[in-house]
Structure 1
């Protein structure tokens, strides 16, 4: 310390000011959300599907969803079993995922034996992480030399409960059960399977877990302890008894629906899902040509210990975490136009949270700027430990689209919330952003054991066009379309995913698609290449690949540079991106495109069935 002080005394006032300014910038610099992946109830398996469902106000029929089934069509639980029959009504209500017994172990180089004993939450996190990295255009080549942090959230590990109930013979024990059921493996598995070097942390603060993990990741990025961070969470309801426990605690909705901020709110309905986001310092994202969805400006985590009991929500704690997050963001309360609320589903909980938001965000007067509040729990159920992921993604997408999606139940708002005496609002239909200029929003997450998290987000500034991001004209082809996968089935599936994504959209060019697939994807042994000249040719090429029509000779008889590149690619060479997109010529922007198709195989020992 003495030597450091001696050094400071040698600096001029101007040098000290510059040094302090740099330190302040490092501590407060925005962090970009550059990629997202998800698997959510209702078949929502990418950010675009999630946004479409939210904007249309879709609500899952959780009241009578029925018991989820596996890939063989078998129910997850036998509700006729004597110990499960009393829970049958509750277990038919929920927002469930199907086919959680499937996993593409080959993609990750995991043996069949190990895959069978991995908690399905680990497996799902792995697969969604691959989709998020693809959405961020982070191939292994682009990750090489970067420190990548992994912050994963561990939901309750219930996979072994069935064989503990029924008994597993001694011969059924496996050494893989150890890492397969360890919460620490949630993060460690991702780092190992994807070859990522950097800090690896598993987090569990209940419903605030995702926001707590984002808070930790942002701090690590600002401290330059990593260059990129993956933050993910998963929640699967594999034991029926946990539903019975929550029902006994009076937390579940008797009607089987989550209806936050409405007169009919009566608890929550349980849900499953997985979400992963990719974070990078905004300055680095700009330098790398990324297309951020939104920016993290500030965050905070706080627990109010002086409350009556562990599961009692504290309004003071909720307000404190909001104030700390705003301070970290350097923003005034009035700057924020939307808050994705915790919204635990109870009527009294909604009233307390609404009052707290009005207070913390200075909206106590109806003359204040409007503050819209909402929660996607009304659309897809309450994903509990994973609930922060869809809420964060919804808010990020709302900022990117400059629109607040409608809140289900806005037409039956709780009359005990002082809507008329405050500036709080519910969006009854898609709502243009309520403020001009830079858009700001926030996300709340309150863990039922007391840990509150809050993240403040901001829209991305419009970027002036430059020589490295200038769009390539439609008539300047030809371009080389490159696809690959570990096997033919996966290659056809990947082509089909891309074809379905692009065919109904207009916001892409062939050049941008080709560059994204060449630079932003890993390149495997089974390959497909085509020379295309326009949008229709690109869609036709994807259609042929989706049908399994692969020509291993490459484009014939063309002798253009793209054709030569295509033929060399098919022989196993790396894409000639430096030749295809020279640094001194206009290059199309990288796009957010669907990731690879993963081919799931059943990995589920019989002793994990609830008979």
Structure 2
């Protein structure tokens, strides 16, 4: 038997079978949906705020001294807005809501929106049977805390007993304390489990392929997306929902980052800035719908961007389990471009992990520069940024926030901004690198006959886990026929009065009979999906499978 070391050849499956991003949906700080998220990005909105009372009381837990026991020195972060949840919409009994973690419920909403955005909300059973869901999810969910705390009654009893409280009085006090926490019952266990986030989506949306969750800490979303891509490349599925979920900005999470310590003492997050001194955490849910590019073209799906390469690595043996390592990160980045089959020098945008920590940012920059700057004499032409400057570090959902932002940047041909940068950290020596910090929204101009617009997305997690994705704009024309099984779509029109509604219908019919009928039809379907009708409005609605059928109904 030979002991000769054989270096394996890189698997080039993505070069042969690229993967398309065909659907997006999200809930992020100050953004109930995808459109609000993108609007906040390009409008340069800082969505970081003080902790709201609905999460925890600042007076109870805040102390500016990082060493104060059982206190956090950070009182700001990114918080999702309140979202209405109708259990009947998903066939859930209302009595389970109290014992079901909010991450499961809001993930159902987001997954449904992602499928709607992709055009498969009402897909046929044979399509859903080949669709799955793999999500990045952190360890425990918020519901674990009240359920566990409720079980501490023996501790309460001993404290009360040692304080001289009589047994009868102790029992009354303990029963009152238990009422402050949700009860244990048959739905409590599944209601708190992280894997049930994906399981409930598969159950309620009737998906038949793989469903599971992945925990790679702050890189969980990209780890999940890598697994979802593998399902498609191996033809184990034809469509995958992927992304990340993290709704936990509880005091437990603040205490965890305070005692590391990783939080900023500033009122904002400043990735790669000279004054960056830490992160702030955020909540979020981001989901993407993926298909093989050839299938998406065949089915005439809208394509936001194309996944061309994926790289992953471990930091190996290093200083500590949470210390970032430039060599480990650059290994993941280099592998991603080997996977893609083209040079990183052709990239115009890098969405960095960019947490804003004093150690993390220079380390990440060194890892990026080791790959993008190698044999590349060009200076300051690649936009570098981080959405964390706007929404905070959404932990397990961070990679999905970055992927969605980057896919939309490619789709709309926009270079998105990074906020709160006054001057780049001099440790990076960014002026002598291929990178510059893009601090304002700008058009992404590409010279004629140049390579397609390309972007990289990084995410790294505790434990030394590193991921980098390579995305490319989609410029192809759909050559194949429309999908064989057309998905019926809802069409809605409304106006102030019945007479005005009749005029509106006639106008829409005229548009659908014009030379630009296909474009008008697509716009009408999008408008119908987002339409919110006043109660007093005159309205008409119907289900249509095609442009021709819509004309007939009108």
**Normalized against structure 1, the TM-score is what?**
0.72
CA distance in 1, matches of 2:285, 2:258: 23
Matched, 1:149 2:132: yes
Q: Which residue of 2 aligns with 1:592?
A: none
- 1:66 paired with 2:54, answer no
Correspondence for 1:420? 431
Is residue 441 of structure 2 the alignment partner of residue 457 of structure 1?
no
In the alignment, does 2:87 pair up with 1:129?
A: no
Equivalent residue, structure 1, for 2:370: 359
2:491 corresponds to which of 482, 490, 494: 482
Alignment of 1:460-609 (within 5 A): 460-463=474-477, 482-483=491-492, 510-515=520-525, 545-549=533-537, 569=542, 575=544, 577=546, 580=549
Structure 2 residue aligned with 1:283: 294
For the Cα contact (< 8 Å) 1:68–1:97, is it kept in 2?
no
The aligned counterpart of 1:5 is: none
Aligned to 1:297: 308
Q: 1:464 to 1:164 in 2, by over 3 A?
A: closer
1:158 maps to 2:142? yes
Cα displacement (A) at 1:240? 0.7
Is 1:402 equivalent to 2:402 in the alignment? no
CA–CA distance in structure 2, aligned partners of residues 138 and 467 of structure 1: 17
Tell me what 1:41 maps to.
Answer: 29
Q: Does the CA contact (< 8 Å) of 2:112 and 2:121 recur in 1?
A: no
SS in 2 for 1:99: coil
Is the 8 Å Cα contact of residues 307 and 469 (structure 2) preserved in structure 1? yes
8 Å Cα contact 1:27/1:223 also seen in 2: no
Which residue matches 2:56? Answer: 77
Aligned length: 479
Matched, 1:94 2:77: yes
Query: For residues 312 and 40 of structure 1, do their structure 2 counterparts lie closer, same or farther at Cα, with a shift above 3 Å needed?
Result: same
Asked whether the 8 Å contact 2:99–2:182 carries over to 1, the reply is: no
How far apart are residue 122 of structure 1 and its match?
1.0
Aligned to 1:215, which of 214, 217, 226? 226
- 1:335-388 per-residue CA deviation (whole Å, 9 max, x = no partner) reads 212111111211232111112111111357663572221101011111111111
Q: 1:114 to 1:481 in 2, by over 3 A?
A: closer
2:383 is paired with a residue whose SS is: strand
Structure 1 pair 283/431, CA: closer, same or farther in 2 (3 Å)? Answer: same
Note closer, same or farther for the CA distance 1:409–1:415 as it changes in structure 2 (3 Å cut): farther
Equivalent position SS for 2:427: coil
> Displacement of 1:578 after TM fit?
8.0
2:42 pairs with one of 51, 55, 62: 55
Superposition map of 1:329-348 within 5 A: 329-348=340-359
Separation (CA, whole Å) in 1 of partners of 2:43 and 2:58: 34
1:36: Cα distance to partner? 0.5
After alignment, is 314-323 or 133-142 more displaced? Answer: 133-142
Mapping for residues 218-367 of structure 1, pairs under 5 Å: 218-237=229-248, 239-362=250-373, 367=378
1:30 aligns with 2:25: no
Shift of 1:93: 1.1
Provide the residue aligned with 2:163 in structure 1: none
Query: SS at the partner of 2:328?
Result: helix
Distance in 2 separating the partners of 1:114 and 1:434: 51
Partner secondary structure for residue 546 of structure 1: coil
**CA deviation vs aligned residue, 1:521-558 (integer Å, no higher than 9, x gap):** 8xxxxxxxxxxxxxxxxx9xx67x4335466xx6xxxx
> Structure 1 residues 440, 271: CA separation in 2 closer, same or farther (over 3 Å shift)?
same
Summarize the Cα distance change of 1:228–1:426 in structure 2 as closer, same or farther, 3 Å threshold: same
Q: Once the 2 structures are TM-superposed, how far is the Cα of residue 465 of structure 1 from its aligned partner?
A: 8.3
> Secondary structure of 1:445's match?
strand
**Residue aligned with 1:412, SS:** coil
Match in the other structure for 2:381: 370
The TM-score normalised by the length of structure 2 is: 0.78
Q: Which residue of 1 aligns with 2:98?
A: 116
CA-to-partner distance for each residue in 1:61-103, whole Å, 9 max, x for gaps? 43xx23243xxxxxx3245558999767646311112436x52
Structure 1 residues 579 and 98: alpha-carbon distance in aligned structure 2, compared to 1, 3 A threshold:
closer
Deviation at 1:462, TM superposition (A): 3.8
Q: 1:250-296: per-residue Cα shift (whole Å, max 9, x none)?
A: 11111242211001101101111111110011111111111110000
Are the aligned partners of 2:281 and 2:394 in contact in 1 as well (CA < 8 Å)? yes
Q: Distance in 1 between matches of 2:227 and 2:184?
A: 36
Distance change in 2, residues 1:118/1:112 (3 Å)? same
Which sections of structure 1, spanning at least 5 residues, go unmatched? 1-22, 70-75, 470-479, 485-505, 522-538, 555-565, 586-611
Deviates more, 1:279-288 or 1:168-177: 168-177
State which of 105, 115, 118 in structure 1 corresponds to 2:87: 105
Provide Cα deviations, 1:202-254, integer angstroms capped at 9, x if missing partner: 11101111111111111110111100000031112253132122111111111
Q: Does 1:445 align with 2:486?
A: no
In structure 2, relative to structure 1, the CA distance for the partners of 1:511 and 1:575 (3 Å cut) is: closer
Pair 1:580–1:425, CA change in 2 (3 A): same
Contact 1:28 1:329 in 2 (8 A): no
The answer to whether the Cα contact below 8 Å between 2:221 and 2:397 also exists between their aligned partners in 1 is yes
Deviation (angstroms), 1:185: 0.7
RMSD (Å) for aligned C-alpha atoms: 3.3
Tell me the distance in 1 between the aligned counterparts of 2:26 and 2:490. Answer: 26
Q: 1:191 to 1:430 in 2, by over 3 A?
A: same
String of CA shifts for 1:39-68, please: whole Å, max 9, x gaps.
1102x2333322222222221243xx2324
Residues 467 and 352 of structure 1: is their aligned pair in 2 closer, same or farther, counting only changes over 3 Å?
closer
